[in-house]
Amino acid sequence: MKNSILIVTLFLAMVFGGCASQDDPREGGFFGGVAGLGSGGYKNRMTEREERLEELRATQRALDSEKGQLEVQKTAVQEQLNMDQGRVKSMQSEIAALDKKAKSLADKQGTDKQRVTELQKRVADLKGKMNQQASSLDDLEGSGFGDTDMDLRRKQLEKQRDSLRKEYDLLMKMQIELAQ
């Protein structure tokens, strides 16, 4: 008799214990876990884990894509920089040639010495500024977009190069006039 009472009590404890637990197999101890397994909680947990995993994968994909975009941007910036450096180099050669011509004008008889001196001074100034452009561009090596100061420096250098090009064209014209 005592044994039957004990079995009934245990059975009731199992039933109520199972009812009181959550259906997540992680919760509710042994009986709760058993209940969870039986009620589909394990499946839910798996689904939840898969969802979380998918979220992580999506974040990873977004990060990869962002990284890819940054790499593309960085490559584009580097390509632009290479082009700018090439332009500055060719302008430096042109200015060096102009400098040579201005020097030969100074030795030539019958030229307007005052204007030749002015030309030489301006060519020397232009030469200095182009050298600065070259060195400032070198400083931008390896930088991408996003750094405000760097982006601004890039824009300023670009506009200044256009302005130096105009000055070069003007001095070239002046040199031709003086040579005639």
Partner 1 sequence: MRLGALLILAVTVVLTTHPEAHSAPLDEIRRILSEDALVPPAPAALEILDMAGLPELLKQIDPYARYFTAREYRSPTTRREGWLGIGAELIVRGDEIFLAVYKGGAADTAGVPDRSKLLQVDGKSVARLEPLAVAVLLKGDEGSVVRLTLDLPDGRQSAVAVVRTSFKPLDVELVPPSERQVLRIREFVAGMTKPALQATIDFFARNEASPNESLIIDLRDAGGGDLYEAFDVAGLFLPQGTLLGTIQTRGGEVREVRASSGKKYFMPVVFIVGPDTASSAEIFAGALHQQGRAKLVGQRTYGKCSSQVEINLSDGSVLRYTNRDVVLPGGSSCSGAGLVPDREVSDELLRDLLLLVREVDSLSGTE
Rounded (5°) CA angle 119-120-121: 90
The binder of partner 1 chosen from 39, 136, 143, 144 (CB under 8 A):
136
Candidate ranges 45-53, 57-65, 81-89, 147-155; the one touching partner 1 (CB under 8 A): 147-155
For residue 59, state whether it binds partner 1 (rule: CB under 8 A): no
Rounded distance between C-alpha atoms, residue 177 and residue 138, angstroms: 35
Q: How far apart are CA 132 and CA 129, in angstroms?
A: 5
Rule CB under 8 A: choose which of 74, 143, 167, 172 binds partner 1. Answer: 167
Shortest gap between Cβ of 129 and partner 1 (angstroms)?
A: 6
Rounded Cα–Cα distance for residues 40 and 26 (Å): 12
**CB nearer to partner 1: pick between 35 and 95:** 95
Is the Cβ of residue 85 or residue 136 nearer to partner 1 in the bound state? 136
**H or E stretch including 144?**
none
Q: Please, where are the H alpha helices in 21-143?
A: 29-39, 41-107, 113-139
Contact residues: partner 1, CB under 8 A? 121, 125, 128-129, 132, 135-136, 139, 148-149, 151-153, 155-156, 158-160, 162-164, 167
